[in-house]
Amino acid sequence: MRRMIPTTFSSKFQGAVSMNALRCYVSEFISTFFFVLAAVGSVMASRKLTAGDVTGPFSVLIPATANAFALSSSVYISWNVSGGHVNPAVTFGMAVAGRISVPTAMFYWTSQMIASVMACLVLKVTVVEQHVPIYKIAGEMTGFGASVLEGVLAFVLVYTVFTANDPRRGLPLAVGPIFIGFVAGANVLAAGPFSGGAMNPACAFGSAMIYGSFKNQAVYWVGPLLGGATAALVYDNMVVVTAAEDDRGSSTGDATGV
């Protein structure tokens, strides 16, 4: 048994550095770069349009709309290549569910993090009159409460991703990314004024890196990663009907004439 462990890990690592895997990493980089550029850029655009008023409804409505459209597009363009994760929480959920290997997940994370930093760097260089915004916790929220909220939001998002990826639903290719974008936009509308509605550790990390402050960064990692893992476990173990259960159900239906 001891000899099988390194062989298994070695095979997984070799698969993580294959040409097909490299295409996935490039796809994740491109899609994450586009999403973060639009998500963080929309906050900067809303500040410009509202003359810096961060308390008005448009300060949430504009980023929420941008998140919905950008995530739908980003997931769609990488859907058939890398799976359209665009989010370390989604990748973590896929790894927990055993759909991708741990080495592959680590490379996914690396691509997503670098893409986020690069997108925020582009915003910093091009929009010189503004600082790159970071996700902040509202005064009436505690760090624990914000982490729980981000975790719940990530649960909903990752659960939707797993549902959209389920081939048994027979959804057309473009439908899944649209619903994923919808739930992301709804989450930003619901939680934007309180925790920022990040749901994405890479997006929070990139903006914090360029801004130069990692305050409360754990909120945007612990919550989303736990929420994503929980969504993966719930969907795969409690919601999805296994092949054996499906066969039993079919046999019962045939026997009763239903």
Q: In one letter, which amino acid is 51? A: A
- Does the pTM of the predicted model rise above 0.85? yes
pLDDT band per the 50, 70, 90 thresholds, residue 55: confident
Of the CA atoms within 13 Å of residue 112, those in its CB half-sphere come to 26
Q: What is the pLDDT of residue 1?
A: 35
Residue type, 213: S
Q: Check residue 167 and give its pLDDT.
A: 81
Q: Which two tokens stand for residue 252?
A: 């019962």
pLDDT number for residue 72? 97
CB crowding 7-37: b at 16 or more within 10 Å, else e:
eeeeeebeebeeeebeebbebbbbbbbbbbb
Two tokens at 105?
């997940």
pLDDT for residue 239: 81
Rounded-to-integer distance, Cα 119 and Cα 239, Å: 37
Nearest to 92 by CA among 74, 75, 82, 105: 105
Quote the DSSP letter at residue 169: G
Q: Which among 169, 152, 166 has a CA at the least distance from the CA of 228?
A: 152
Q: Say which residue, 44 or 51, is predicted with more confidence.
A: 44
- Kind and range of the H or E element at 145? helix 143-164
Mean pLDDT of 33-58: 88
Which residues contact residue 215 at a Cβ distance below 8 angstroms, ignoring those fewer than 6 apart? 134, 208
**212 contacts 117 by C-beta, under 8 angstroms:** no
Mean predicted confidence (pLDDT) in 49-69: 87
pLDDT at 7: 47
Angle, helices 102-126/88-96, rounded to nearest 10 degrees: 180
- What are 230's two structure tokens? 């929980």
